[in-house]
Amino acid sequence: MAHFLFFLLAIISVGAVLAMIFSKNQAHNALFIILAFLCLGGLFALLDAPFIAVVQIIVYAGAIMVLFIFVIMMINLKEGVPPERKRWTVVLSLLIGIILVIELILAVTGAFAPPQAPGAAELANPSNLGKLLFTEYLYPFEITSILIIAVLVGAIVLVKKKDTE
Amino acid sequence: MTDLFWLIPLIPGASAAILLVFGTKLPKKYISFQACFAVFASFAIGLISFIGLNQGGHGHHPLIKNLFPWIHTGSFKIDLSFQFDPLTAIMVLVVTAVGFIIHVYSIGYMADDRSYARFFQNMNLFTFAMLILVMSSNMVLMFVGWEGVGLCSYLLIGFWFEKHSAATAGKKAFIVNRIGDAGFLLGIFFVFIYVGSSEFAAINEAIGGGQITQSMATLIAILLFVGAVGKSAQIPLYVWLPDAMEGPTPVSALIHAATMVTAGVYMVARMNLLYTLSGTAGNIVALVGAVTAVFAATMALTQNDIKRVLAYSTISQLGYMFIGCGVGAYAAGIFHLYTHAFFKSLLFLAAGSVMHALSGELDMQKMGGLKKYLPRTYPTFLIGAIAIAGVPFLSGFFSKDAILTSAFANGQYLVWALGISGAVLTAFYMFRLIFLTFHGKERLSPEVKAHLHESPPVMTVPLMILAFFSIVAGYIGLPVVLGKNVNWIEHFLHPVIAGVHEVHLSIATEWVLILISVAVALFGIFMAYVFYMKKPQIPHNLVARFPKLYKLLFNKYYVDEIYEATIINPLVRGSEVAYKHFDLKVIDGTANGSARAAGVFGKIFSYFQTGLLKDYALIFLLGAIILLGYLLF
Amino acid sequence: MIPQSYFLILSAVLFFLGVVAFFVKRDLITQFLAIEVMLSAGNLAFITFAKYGSSLGGQIIVFFIITVAACEAAIGLAIILLVFRQKKTIKSEEINLMKG
């Protein structure tokens, strides 16, 4: 069952990203990516991370992508932008990408070892995560909150229309 | 109170520092007072220390005051320490006494100069350096003073630096001095190698203990003498002294008559054990001194510039001092240094007074008959001339006689003969100067005659004081013929100058030598009288008969021209070549080239800066891949 | 039990696809989307290690990564809007003010 789910979700997510590459319409691109994120959320759930899976769907697919769609609507291009015309850049990037993926796979070769039974990890439910968040990872937590405030203010300041224009 | 002798150099030093910083803002009267008082204070302390030296019987061990350890690295130690012994005492008294008188004279002479403060600052700085030179207890500190007086000589010769000839003369003095200093430094290095320390006490101990062989001593002595040749203007490094007359007259009197040029003589006397041990070096010193004495005197015969005559006279008299030291009669050499300081500075200051009266005229051909116009300058000038000529009962006679007698006594007959010839010439050219300037027909130009006036008392009183000393100073060193123990100066210096075997001539020989000296001096004066007063056509006839000889003498044997052609020109051409081919091409080329290379590299790398997001991302990716590859493999 | 390697290979493939998308596309917004894909691929890898390494730290990190990605998306989009206002285009090859 798990295997089946895994392969299903994997294929759908890869397919969604591929479709994004070949599509010309930006709104379509965004929608395909939302699909990909949903699949990823499923994958997270498969990996015994329910909280993160839900966060991924709510924040990523829900908030961030909606932001993207807002901007796409604001920009309101009449026609889509065709993908890269020049052949050689495509080939070059493909080449480099393949090198990258080979390296990455080699990097995880160590993971081909027989799967050791995962030890008794704690359940990844919100209360356990919360405990960790507020004890061991307190500093990153606080700093991230400051980051969010900065982003809020920054985004508003950036986009505000100047009064004298 | 004797313990305060170390203050002697520091007081003029402090005055120089104050004048350096605040000089231009202080009123002239105050500057005069401070500068002169500083030197006078040094003189006072020196006098008290001198008396203390006499009474306390300190003679045999010099008083040493170590101010602070200066350089201490491993076994290499140099301290800033001063010493006070009989030799130092004499030098200090001469420097400060004559220095004080000249400072007072300068108040009048430089009264209208616009760089009044700078003049006194330089003079005080000079006094400071000279006192360090004579009071230091080791060779390195002495060298500091040595260089310091060289620097002040440059500053003061080129005092009126806007005048091109003065600036050039200052440069020449410094460079020629420097050549001598190279030898001096080498000598110090060898002292360090053989003795391990540059303290005079240590050196004398090493010599006494036999650690220095004769050949070592000769080497060091000759090297040090090279420095003395430069500083004290002997052959071949005398060429700077006549040009140094471009400086103000008080400068010529102080530095180039009484004090700085005598530093070489002091040094030889201080290192007397070294020169005695190495007989060769002593002979060389005496010979160089003798030849210089005669050589310079011949050049003085034809000069028309009143200060040049005195300059050559100084070179000649310094030769006599070196004769004294070279034959082993160090006390006689120092004695002559001491009397010479008085009458030579008197002569210079009096010449300055004459120039002041004549609104700056210094060509003797345009003088004459000034006797009646300068009632105070003339007698003092005359006294100075008589003293230097070696007429009995004045100071020059006693000191010169002491030197020549010692030369004869030590078997150096050639040196003695040269010395006697020099004495004739000395008397002759000095009285030629007197007769041309003060007697005979007046050859003054009308404007000069209109402003003719005697100098103010601030200038003539120092002249009178110096004249007085020129007469009496010699009585501290009466010749042995007049009694056994009357040579006070020799006894006084005995603790410092030891180990010289006293050669005694018979009384008869000594009297004969004295009479020869006197006869020679009077003969010179008589000949000058004949040439310039009785039959003035004789000089003209001689010049007409021997034009080439006259030209040779008048142009100073073309020595300057020879140096210019053989040494200076090649060096200048060589450095021009070096500049064009090495400096411009190689060094500038490297600097400019590296700048150009940076530019080229920048251009190459700017191709990567397309401004496009994708290209930058591509490079990120490449970097990530390389890093990943490195980490993996 | 799904082997660890499957997830990691999937993560690598997704990352590779994100990279290709970035270089192939010419408009800023889609390129930005591709960046988000890359980030998510990384998240997948972290969660995998969290499970198979028995540590909850991996999930905490993903938490932070998502937060930071959100912030970055906000600011990035604001900047893209500004650029669009100035240059009236979102084609990335026409934005080369930093040239030279």
Whether B628 and A96 lie within 8 Å, measured CB to CB: no
Kindly state the average pLDDT of the residues B133-158: 91
Query: Where is pLDDT greater, at B164 or B490?
Result: B164
Question: How open is the CA angle B194-B198-B204, to the nearest 5 degrees?
Answer: 75
Top mean pLDDT of B445-449, B515-519, C34-38 is at: C34-38
Question: How open is the CA angle A74-C39-A111, to the nearest 5 degrees?
Answer: 160
DSSP alpha helix (H) spans, B57-138: 86-109, 116-135
The per-residue pLDDT for B559 is 80
**CA of A107, closest CA in chain B: separation in Å?**
7
Chain C residues inside the 8 Å CB shell of B617: 22-23
Q: Chain C residue closest to B603 (CA)? A: C100
The per-residue pLDDT for C34 is 93
**CA of A164, closest CA in chain C: separation in Å?**
16
Backbone angles phi, psi at B82, to 5 degrees: -105, 155
The per-residue pLDDT for C74 is 93
The per-residue pLDDT for B483 is 55
Across chain B, mean pLDDT equals: 84
Whether B628 and A92 lie within 8 Å, measured CB to CB: no
Q: Which long-range contacts (CB under 8 A, 24 or more apart) does A134-139 make?
A: A137/C60, A137/C64
Question: How far from the centroid of its chain's Cα atoms is residue B384's Cα?
Answer: 20
The per-residue pLDDT for A79 is 64
Q: Chain A residue closest to B629 (CA)? A: A103
The per-residue pLDDT for B272 is 84
The per-residue pLDDT for B202 is 83
Residue B618 confidence (pLDDT) above 90: no
The per-residue pLDDT for C72 is 94
Q: B411-428, pLDDT tens digit by residue?
A: 778 888 888 899 999 998
Give me the percent of chain A exceeding a pLDDT of 70.
Answer: 83
Kindly state the average pLDDT of the residues B614-632: 84
B72-89 burial code (b ≥16 CB/10 A, e <16):
eeeeebbbbbbbbbbbbb
Residue B490 confidence (pLDDT) above 90: no
Q: Are B321 and B399 in contact (CB under 8 A)?
A: no
Rounded to whole angstroms, the Cα distance separating B252 from B173 reads 13
Confidence of residue B146 (pLDDT cuts 50, 70, 90): very high
Rounded to whole angstroms, the Cα distance separating B268 from B227 reads 10
What beta strand segments (E) does A26-165 contain? Answer: none
Chain C residues inside the 8 Å CB shell of A42: none
The per-residue pLDDT for A112 is 52
What is residue B70's three-state secondary structure? strand
What is residue B465's three-state secondary structure? helix
What is residue B65's three-state secondary structure? strand
Whether B614 and A89 lie within 8 Å, measured CB to CB: yes
What is residue B572's three-state secondary structure? helix
Q: How far apart, in Å, are the Cα atoms of B195 and each of B145, B146, B186, B198, B222? A: 22, 21, 14, 7, 17
A 20-79 residues inside an 8 A Cβ radius of C: 20-21, 26, 29-30, 33, 36-37, 40, 43-44, 46-49, 51-52, 55-56, 59-60, 63-64, 67-68, 71-72, 74-75, 77
The half-sphere exposure of B379 on its side-chain side, counting CA atoms within 13 A, is 9
Q: Chain C residue closest to A161 (CA)? A: C82
What is residue B63's three-state secondary structure? strand
Kindly state the average pLDDT of the residues B134-150: 91
Size of interface A-B (CB pairs under 8 A): 20
Whether B611 and C97 lie within 8 Å, measured CB to CB: yes
Rounded to whole angstroms, the Cα distance separating B40 from B32 reads 12
Element (H, E) at B531: none
Confidence of residue B130 (pLDDT cuts 50, 70, 90): very high
Q: What is the DSSP code string of C62-79?
A: HHHHHHHHHHHHHHHHHH
Residue A16 confidence (pLDDT) above 90: yes
Whether chain B has a CB inside 8 Å of the CB on A144: the answer is no
The per-residue pLDDT for B549 is 79
**Range of weakest confidence among A19-23, A138-142, B242-246, B411-415:** B411-415
Q: Which of C77, C79, C83, C95 to mutate to test the interface with A (most CBs of A within 10 A)?
A: C77
Question: How far from the centroid of its chain's Cα atoms is residue B216's Cα?
Answer: 27
Q: Are A100 and B625 in contact (CB under 8 A)?
A: yes
Whether C19 and A137 lie within 8 Å, measured CB to CB: no
Whether C95 and B613 lie within 8 Å, measured CB to CB: yes
Chain B residues inside the 8 Å CB shell of C89: none
Whether chain B has a CB inside 8 Å of the CB on C98: the answer is yes
**Range of weakest confidence among A58-62, B37-41, B374-378, B409-413:** B409-413
Whether C23 and B612 lie within 8 Å, measured CB to CB: no
The per-residue pLDDT for A119 is 53
Give me the amino acid identity at C34.
A
Residue B556 confidence (pLDDT) above 80: no
Residue B431 confidence (pLDDT) above 80: yes
Question: How far from the centroid of its chain's Cα atoms is residue C86's Cα?
Answer: 26
Q: B236-267, pLDDT tens digit by residue?
A: 888 888 888 888 889 988 887 778 888 889 99
B337 by Cβ neighbours in 10 Å (0-12 / 13-18 / 19+) ranks as: buried
Whether chain A has a CB inside 8 Å of the CB on B617: the answer is no
pTM of the model: 0.70
Query: Where is pLDDT greater, at B313 or B507?
Result: B313
Residue from the list A63, A116, A140 with its beta carbon closest to the beta carbon of C64 = A140
Give me the percent of chain C exceeding a pLDDT of 90.
Answer: 41
Give me the amino acid identity at B14.
A
Q: B2-43, pLDDT tens digit by residue?
A: 677 888 888 999 999 998 998 888 888 888 888 999 999 999
Q: A77-126, pLDDT tens digit by residue?
A: 666 666 666 667 777 777 887 888 787 777 776 655 555 555 556 677 78
User: CB B509: neighbour CB atoms within 10 A?
Assistant: 14
Q: B291-312, pLDDT tens digit by residue?
A: 999 999 988 888 888 888 999 9
Rounded to whole angstroms, the Cα distance separating B496 from B492 reads 9
Q: What is the DSSP code string of C24-38?
A: H--BHHHHHHHHHHH
Residue B382 confidence (pLDDT) above 80: yes
Q: B89-123, pLDDT tens digit by residue?
A: 888 988 999 999 999 988 888 888 888 889 999 99
Q: B559-608, pLDDT tens digit by residue?
A: 878 887 888 888 888 888 888 888 888 888 888 889 999 999 988 888 87
Kindly state the average pLDDT of the residues C41-58: 87
The per-residue pLDDT for B477 is 66
The per-residue pLDDT for B119 is 92
Top mean pLDDT of A45-49, A88-92, B468-472 is at: A45-49
Q: B160-216, pLDDT tens digit by residue?
A: 988 898 998 998 889 889 999 999 999 999 988 888 888 888 888 888 777 778 888
Q: What is the DSSP code string of A111-134?
A: GGSPPPPP--PPP--HHHHHHHHH
Closest CA relative to residue A126, chosen from A75, A51, A71: A51
